[in-house]
Amino acid sequence: MHSKSIAELAQGLRAGEFTSVELTRAYLDRIAEHNPALNCFVSVCEEAALQEAKLADRRIRAGDAGDLIGIPIVHKDIFCTDGVKTSCGSKMLDNFVAPYDAHVVAQLKQAGAVMLGKANMDEFAMGSSNENSFYGPVRNPWKLICVPGGSSGGSAAAVAARLCVAATGTDTGGSIRQPAAFCGITGLKPTYGRVSRYGMIAFASSLDQGGPMARSAADAAALLQAMAGFDTHDSTSAEQPVPDYSASLNDDLKGLRIGVPKEYMGEGLDSAIAESIQLALNEFTRLGAELVEISLPNTHLGIPTYYVVAPAECSSNLSRFDGVRYGYRCSDPQDLEDLYKRSRGEGFGAEVKRRIMIGTYALSAGYYDAYYLKAQQIRHLISDDFRAAFEKVDVIMGPTAPSTAFEIGEKSDDPVTMYLSDIYTIAVNLAGLPGISVPVRPVDGMPVGLQMIGNYFDEARLLNVAHQLQQVTDWHSASPAGFE
Catalytic sites, residue numbers: 76, 151, 175
Distances (CA, A) of 307 to 42, 176, 371, 484: 28, 18, 10, 39
Give 370's DSSP letter: I
Backbone dihedral region for residue 137 (phi beyond 0: left; psi -120 to 50: alpha; all else: beta) = beta
Helix (H) or strand (E) holding 481: none
Closest by CA to 124, choosing from 77, 187, 75, is: 77
The reply to whether omega before 151 is within 30° of 0 (cis) is yes
Compute the distance between CA of residue 219 and CA of residue 438 in angstroms, rounded to an integer: 12
Q: Residue 326 and residue 295: Cα distance in Å, rounded?
A: 48
The residues that bridge with 187 in the sheet, in sequence order, are: 213, 437
Sign of CA dihedral 129, 168, 467, 263: negative
β strands within 266-311, DSSP E: 290-294
Contact 264, 299 (CB under 8 A): yes
- Parallel, antiparallel, or unpaired: how do β-strands 41-44 and 435-443 relate? unpaired
Contact 56, 69 (CB under 8 A): yes
Which residue type does 281 have? L
| Beta sheet of 290-294, edge-to-edge order | 41-44, 114-119, 72-76, 166-170, 210-214, 186-189, 435-443, 446-453, 395-399, 257-261, 290-294
Q: Crossing angle for the helix pair 6-15 and 20-38, nearest 10 degrees?
A: 140
Residue 29, number of CB atoms within 10 A of its CB: 11
CB neighbour class for 352 (10 Å; exposed up to 12, middle 13-18, buried from 19): buried
DSSP tag of 299: G
CA distance 475 to 184: 8
